[in-house]
Chains A and B, each alone.
Chain A
């Protein structure tokens, strides 16, 4: 059986169900690298050019892991645009070339260009072309595309129920689930999916917040139309697909009274984030907001301090005005009037 490797990074988080279904239906076996570990990170940093952002470096680590398996193909799509008049960061455009130049002796790379900024005609043509690597029957390829889209939609629906995209993919594959407890805080948590849903890149952000009793709202948890409507309220349209979703999500969340605060996770080396993080801060007015910047650090202390302080602040704000200052968290919320 033909084996296609898919690195567990970047747009894996957004399109893995599509890709896997497509290749499986055409009779190929899909081999995905394991979730990011410290080893993936170390190897990725060692292999990657030093100017790119952290998630891209980690992706190199995933490719290196796949290199150890016996594969016929490695799937590294050239992501240019996934919707009309919007773009993905230009570094993604060069990704297959960067990989080829930095990592020798890889199996052949499938680097289909995904660019639907003008129309999806060329992508359709290229997909049919790609399918011919696996089957000569065009009808089968068309069916594979149809099924891939259906599975993707199903997984997106799962992701809309408060799961991270990584959890949604696990659920879609029939694996573990996560049960939510009654929250003491509702937080919007935003960031590029490939940073936000990778437990190593995000320095365990999601788990820390959930352990502190927070219910998290991701861009995927929101109605896509609400996000777009909110994103359209700023003077200039953001032409980065992910950036626009973040701005729209942030503005929408900032208008929901039940949301206590918003956290934005940015990568230090990310060009779009350096603007998007600022735009959000200016657009959301009164909602408490915290921008966290991550890079190759591995000490979580700084992250935990900020998260604790943010949650403490929100709890204390919430509890002032109440008769007692006892938070549901079990900790005594400080109040100035109390005498010691």
Chain B
């Protein structure tokens, strides 16, 4: 049997799915990136691989997320796409009628509006990450509530307190004040959920026409408190897909399938040996070639440079092309 591998390397989580050509998810892996995407990619792949039998093969690979380039280099991707397109593709395959997607991840939050299954408009948070997964993580840790139970605790609330959601720093100090005044934890947590939903709708959803059917996905969709807050504020039914936490990876798998089928090409997937046997490392160094001081990243496998990026002049990137390999040389002593 043949599978498409979808990989979404985000700031907080790294997700992997194996999807068959009918769009059925056979395996999914949700890992914390923990600041080390290189390790997350090899661990994630080895977990997936464990459950695959001899006659199961990877026919195509798609990568997305902020670490999509890295994943593409390590695995050999057929398609590398931004998160917005990937999320939209995944949601519109599951819910062909979907009009609005709310996606809240670790660092980013997005709103995607679709018409007839294609993205018609989107918005992404700008400089503020208030209300995204990492802020919730941090608050859960501060309150001593495991993040997995955070949403359930919120649902126990009888009357949420009002928390300032405009800014993560304000929200935190407001929560501390309310806490010190003796409000029950449940009410504070639900208050936070409502504040974050309000902040999202004001900042990201600003001025956009939100229409049903509405899908809520991304890691934060696990939080039932936020789902309930959206339902309350919008007065709409909020659908959370079964695989809400790996929708980006699902989208990447769909896109890989499309690319392979359309181009009728063999996959660029590098194979098990390449991914599992080699030792990958990433090194970054400030290039001293000119005053731009680009922070160049080099991805290596067993000491051999696979890819460079971050250089404005593309000196390093181009140095990997066989013809110019000698020209720049691997003199970046890293």
Which chain A residues have a beta carbon within 8 Å of chain B's beta carbons?
34, 37-40, 42, 200, 204, 268, 281-282, 288, 291, 293, 295, 298, 301-302, 304-306, 308-310, 312-313, 316-317, 320, 331-332, 334-336, 338, 340
Q: Are B295 and A298 in contact (CB under 8 A)?
A: yes
Segment at the A interface, from B114-122, B168-176, B298-306: B114-122
Query: What's the Cα separation between A301 and B107 when bound, in Å?
Result: 13
CB distance from A262 to the nearest CB of B (A): 13
Identify B66's interface contact among A38, A281, A288, A301, CB under 8 A. A301
* Contact of B293 with A305 in the complex, beta carbons under 8 Å: no
Query: Which residue on A lies nearest to B262, using beta carbons?
Result: A332
Q: A293-B127, A295-B127, A340-B254 are in contact. Are A316 and B290 (CB under 8 A)?
A: no
Chain B, residue nearest A266 (CB): B126
Given A204-B312, A316-B119, A340-B261, does the pair A37, B291 have CB atoms closer than 8 Å?
yes
CB distance from B37 to the nearest CB of A (A): 12
Q: Mask for B265-306, Cβ within 8 A of A = 1, else 0? A: 000000000000000000000000011111100000000000
CB closest residue in chain A, given B251: A334
- Is B124 a contact of A38 with CB atoms below 8 Å? no
Q: Is the CB of B258 within 8 A of A338?
A: yes
B83 at interface (Cβ–Cβ under 8 A)? yes
Contact with A along B185-229 (1 / 0, CB 8 A): 000000000000000000000010000000000000000000000
A34 to B259 CA separation, bound complex (whole angstroms): 44
Q: Which residues of B contact A298 (CB under 8 A)?
A: 295
Please count how many residues in chain B sit with their CB below 8 Å of the partner chain's CB atoms.
41
Q: Is B84 an interface residue (CB 8 A)?
A: yes
Q: Which of A200, A281, A338 contacts B207 (CB 8 A)?
A: A281
Chain A residue nearest to B295 (CB atoms) is A298
CB pair B119–A336 under 8 Å, yes or no, is no
Identify which of B79, B96, B293 gathers the most chain A CB atoms within 10 Å of its CB.
B293
Q: Which residues of the other chain, B, contact A38 by a CB distance below 8 angstroms?
A: 291-294
Is there contact, CB below 8 Å, between B116 and A336? yes
Once the chains are docked, how many angstroms separate the CA of A200 from the CA of B257? 37
A288–B257 alpha-carbon span in the complex (Å): 29
Which residues on the B side are within 8 Å of A320 (C-beta)? 116, 118
Residues in A with CB closer than 8 Å to B92 are 336
A288 to B122, CA, bound (A): 9
When the two chains form the complex, which single residue of B83, B207, B291 contacts A305, counting CB atoms closer than 8 Å? B83
- Interface residue? B85 (CB, 8 A): yes
